[in-house]
A and B are shown apart, each in its own frame.
Chain A
Amino acid sequence: MVVPSLPIGDYVELGVYWFDDNFGFLLDLFSSFVSTLITGFRDMLMFLPPLAFIVLVSMFVYIVSRRDHKLTIGTAAGFLLIEIMGLWGLSIETLALVLSSAFMALLIGIPLGIIAAKNRSLFNVIKPALDFMQTMPSFVYLIPAVIFFGLGNVPGLVATVVFAMPPTIRLTTLGIRQVPIELIEVADAFGSTPIQKLFKVELPVALPTIMAGVNQCIMLSLSMVVIAAMIGARGLGYQVLVGIQRVDIGQGFEAGLAIVIIAIVLDRLTQSLTPRK
Chain B
Amino acid sequence: MVKSGLTKQEIFEKTRQTVGLYNLNFDVYAGETFVLMGLSGSGKSTLLRCLNRLISPTSGSILIDGDDIAGMDTEELREVRRNKMTMVFQGFALLPHRTVIDNVAFGLEIQGIPKNERYEKAEEAIYKVGLKGHEQSNTSQLSGGMQQRVGLARALATDPDVLLMDEAFSALDPLIRSEMQDELIALQSKLKKTIVFVSHDLDEALKLGDRIAIMKDGYIAQIGTPEEILTSPADDYVSEFVAGVDRTKILTAENVMKRAEPFISINSGLTVAMQLMKKHGISSIFVVDSNKILQGILPIEHAVNASKEKKKLEEAFIIDFQKVELHTPVKDIIPVIAESRYPLAVIDDIGKLKGVIVRGSVLGALAITKEEES
Contact = CB atoms under 8 A, between A and B. Distances in A.
B95 A186 contact: yes
A189 B95 contact: no
Contact of A205 (B91, B97, B164): B97
Contacts of B140: 277
B79 A204 contact: no
Given A182-B89, A190-B110, A192-B110, A275 B97 contact: yes
Most buried by A among B85, B97, B98, B164: B97
Given A189-B54, A190-B81, A183 B95 contact: yes
A208 to B, nearest CB: 9
Interface string B83-127: 101110111010111100000001101110000000000000000
A45 interface: no
Contacts, number: 66
A275 B96 CA distance: 11
Contacts of B95: 183, 186, 200-201, 204-205
13 contacts: A180-B91, A182-B91, A185-B54, A186-B93, A186-B106, A191-B82, A191-B107, A191-B110, A192-B110, A196-B110, A200-B110, A204-B97, A204-B98
Contacts of B97: 204-205, 207, 275
Q: Which 5 A-B pairs have the closest CB atoms?
A: A191-B82, A191-B81, A182-B93, A189-B87, A190-B107
Given A191-B83, A200-B109, 8 more contacts: A182-B90, A185-B54, A186-B106, A187-B110, A191-B107, A192-B110, A200-B95, A204-B95
B52 interface: yes
Interface residues of A, number: 20
A273 to B, nearest CB: 14
A68 B133 CA distance: 30
B192 interface: no
A200 B164 CA distance: 22
Contacts of B158: 190
A209 to B, nearest CB: 13
A188 B95 CA distance: 13
Contacts of B49: 185
B249 interface: no
